Amino acid sequence: MTCTSSPGVAIPAPPAAPEGHRSAPLCAGLDIGGTAIKYALVDPLRGSTTGPVRRVPTPSPATPAAVVAALQGVLTELEAEAEEPLAAVGVGVPGIVDDGIVRSAVHLDDSWLGVDARRLLTEGLDRSIAVLNDADAAGLAEAGFGAARGEPGTVLMITLGTGIGSALFLDGTLVPNTELGHVWLDGRDVDGWAGASARIAEGLDWPTYIDRVQRYLTHLEMLISPDLIVLGGGISERQEEFVPHLRLRARVVPAQLRNAAGIVGTALQAYRASVAGA
């Protein structure tokens, strides 16, 4: 199944939501990536998108003002599509987000550092916004509705995209902002070496790329011994090319929500915060 979308690029839709769940008020999930901003309407009780997943290019340079302007357009589009007031809006950021403050921004403009993103986005989008790290958002979606649902022990989600993101769970509880995409291996930061963008930029064939991912995950396994590793991110659509080839002690599974996990997770977080604060 593929979502056709306009004006954005088509992205394959995540699996259909389970039957028999009550529909929740619609939420919006906005996932700022290093290359594209992906967005969709989300049903937070089903943990799925309800409309097409669309994408627009991340502005370059990706300054706070430029990104807010892009998000304004995106949100206007989603509000028109929803035809009802949105219950909550969440935004995923590709960097450390500590109580709303951006503490790293490898794939955004440096002027994000120290910015109170929650305040900036709440003012810029004229409504309460939940802000969190993009990989943590993807992990929350997979833990709630996808490949890590109900999984005890140590669960590690790794997103392979423009950068490498991580979400770490212990018995279902997120340890936020782990940034395990920035461990060093052979004297280099793996973020630019084993991310999906490195495969494309360097024109790597699959065996060479799989070897990098294998070495990276073996290193992580040595550090934290996860019980389950969920692989997601931009490379989600090509899981079958590499997941079966990986050899680790932990079980390794693809993200069920695929590349929409970050969108769903930001909306989930926003919905939970709005319910908790109601």
Q: What does each C-alpha distance from 70 to 67, 77, 130 come to in angstroms?
A: 5, 11, 17
Of 106, 148, 174, 229, which one interacts with ligand BGC (CB under 6 A)?
Answer: 106
Site for ligand BGC contains 178 (CB under 6 A): no
Of 47, 191, 197, 250, which one interacts with ligand BGC (CB under 6 A)?
Answer: 191
What's phi and psi for 110, nearest 5 deg?
Answer: -60, -20
Give the pairing type, strands 54-57 and 48-49.
unpaired
Q: Which stretch binds ligand BGC (CB under 6 A): 54-62, 64-72, 101-109, 213-221?
A: 101-109
CA dihedral 225, 175, 233, 189 (to 10 degrees): -70
Helical packing angle, 64-82 and 117-124, nearest 10°:
50
C-alpha span between 97 and 25 (Å, rounded): 26
Site for ligand BGC contains 266 (CB under 6 A): no
Cis peptide bond prior to 59, omega within 30° of 0: no
Q: How far is the CB of 25 from ligand BGC (least distance, A)?
A: 28
Site for ligand BGC contains 163 (CB under 6 A): yes
Site for ligand BGC contains 90 (CB under 6 A): no
C-alpha span between 101 and 119 (Å, rounded): 9
Site for ligand BGC contains 226 (CB under 6 A): no
Q: How far is the CB of 271 from ligand BGC (least distance, A)?
A: 21
Q: How far is the CB of 127 from ligand BGC (least distance, A)?
A: 24
Q: How far is the CB of 133 from ligand BGC (least distance, A)?
A: 5
Q: What does each C-alpha distance from 38 to 19, 44, 49, 211 come to in angstroms?
A: 26, 17, 12, 29
Site for ligand BGC contains 107 (CB under 6 A): yes
Site for ligand BGC contains 179 (CB under 6 A): yes
What is the residue whose two structure tokens read 């920035």?
182
C-alpha span between 170 and 148 (Å, rounded): 11
Site for ligand BGC contains 104 (CB under 6 A): yes
- Using CB under 6 A as the binding criterion, the count of chain residues that bind ligand BGC stands at 17
Q: How far is the CB of 181 from ligand BGC (least distance, A)?
A: 5
Largest CA distance in the chain: 52
* 234, burial (CB in 10 Å: exposed 0-12, middle 13-18, buried 19+): buried
Of 51, 144, 146, 161, which one interacts with ligand BGC (CB under 6 A)?
Answer: 161
Q: Which stretch binds ligand BGC (CB under 6 A): 55-63, 127-135, 198-206, 246-254?
A: 127-135
Site for ligand BGC contains 139 (CB under 6 A): no
| Element holding 209 (H helix, E strand) | helix 206-224
Residue nearest to ligand BGC (CB): 163
Site for ligand BGC contains 134 (CB under 6 A): yes
Q: Which residues bind ligand BGC (CB under 6 A)?
A: 94-95, 104, 106-107, 133-135, 159, 161, 163-165, 179, 181-182, 191
